[in-house]
């Protein structure tokens, strides 16, 4: 559902106020729903180990929604995207 929602928004060029927050919340709810299943896998689930993936995923999702391209397609890393976001917010103030 999340992927279809994101693709539809990009394909139709829709601008929805707060869409990044909506999609981030949907992603976190999806992960939360499956966290119990992940924890019973025959591997040690340490939340901190997966934090870099989570940050990378969130960065790509936000980039995809705001620009229509993932970070790698834009030639940026998660850290560069965060810096770009901070710089943009500072310029708006």
DSSP letters for the chain: -HHHHHHHHHHTT---TTHHHHHHHHHHHHHHHHHHHHHTSSS---HHHHHHHHHHHHHHHHHHHHHSS-HHHHT--HHHHHHHHHHHHHHH-
Q: Give domain limits for the chain.
A: 2-79
What confidence tier does 13 reach under pLDDT thresholds 50, 70, 90? confident
- How much is the pLDDT for 57? 78
What confidence tier does 24 reach under pLDDT thresholds 50, 70, 90? confident
92 pLDDT above the threshold of 60: no
Tens digit of pLDDT for each residue in 34-90?
A: 777 766 766 666 677 777 777 777 887 788 777 877 777 788 765 565 566 556 555
pTM of the predicted model over 0.75: no
Token couple for 12: 């139709």
- How much is the pLDDT for 78? 58
């Amino acid at each position: 559902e999340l992927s279809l929602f994101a693709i539809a928004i990009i394909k139709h060029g829709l601008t929805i106020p707060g869409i990044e927050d909506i999609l981030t919340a949907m992603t976190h709810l999806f992960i939360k729903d499956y966290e119990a299943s992940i924890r019973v896998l025959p591997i040690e689930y340490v939340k901190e180990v997966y934090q870099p993936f989570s940050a990378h995923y969130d960065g790509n999702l936000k980039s995809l929604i705001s620009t229509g391209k993932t970070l790698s397609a834009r030639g940026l890393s998660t850290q560069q995207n965060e810096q770009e976001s901070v710089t943009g917010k500072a310029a708006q103030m």
